[in-house]
A = this chain, B = another copy of it.
């Protein structure tokens, strides 16, 4: 698979290559589904450069994958908060945020998986790789939204944090199983979504909303 050679960057535009490398790595990851298949040489081939050129922008192969993960998580956070902020009612904020989460996982299943599964933030082999602040903030956003529902009287929950954990787990499991087991007779998408979000957030029926 030979890619078209790319034009050499002009002076001072060396950072453009960095973005190209990241984009190629993300594509490669999404196509192969395996972090280990995102090889330095494969990335270079896709970008249209020689392999050593990558070392001007990343210290080693791992750093590329780390950067892809950081990018992906930032994108996920933006998708969630943007969707939630567009709504005003607590119930709709919660549902919109969760829907955005699932949409990201559905549209880029392998990139999603990498973020949550392959790159264990507490990987024993990589102690420096800690759970990013972005992750904490994103989860906190879910907790806050559940709390909004409680305060708004549309959730009978008494523990926003505990419910947020259950919702996150259920959404994550649904997203990964659904994209992985394509032959399973999945019920309509909305139905399972409703069961998970409404049920685990202890939402009262929608009709009761002011």
A interface, over-half SS: helix
- Give the number of residues in A that approach B within 8 Å (Cβ atoms): 40
- Assess whether A180 is in contact with B113, with CB atoms less than 8 Å apart: no
Encoded as 1 (CB less than 8 Å from any B CB) or 0, chain A from 157 to 175 comes to 0000111011011111111
A171 shortest CB reach to chain B, Å = 7
Cβ of A133 < 8 Å from any Cβ of B? no
- Assess whether A196 is in contact with B181, with CB atoms less than 8 Å apart: no
A61 shortest CB reach to chain B, Å = 14
Residues from chain B with a CB closer than 8 A to the CB of A187 are 161-162, 165
A199 to B195, CA, bound (A): 9
Cβ of A117 < 8 Å from any Cβ of B? yes
- Assess whether B166 is in contact with A170, with CB atoms less than 8 Å apart: yes
A162 closest partner in B (C-beta): B187
Q: Which of A34-62 contact B (CB under 8 A)?
A: 34, 36
- Assess whether A196 is in contact with B177, with CB atoms less than 8 Å apart: no
Residues from chain B with a CB closer than 8 A to the CB of A131 are 181, 183-184
A175 to B181, CA, bound (A): 17
- Assess whether A172 is in contact with B165, with CB atoms less than 8 Å apart: no
Would you give 20 A-B contacts (Cβ < 8 Å), ordered by A?
A113-B117, A120-B180, A120-B182, A121-B183, A130-B183, A161-B187, A162-B187, A162-B195, A166-B174, A166-B192, A166-B195, A166-B196, A169-B170, A170-B170, A170-B200, A173-B176, A176-B176, A196-B200, A199-B200, A200-B200
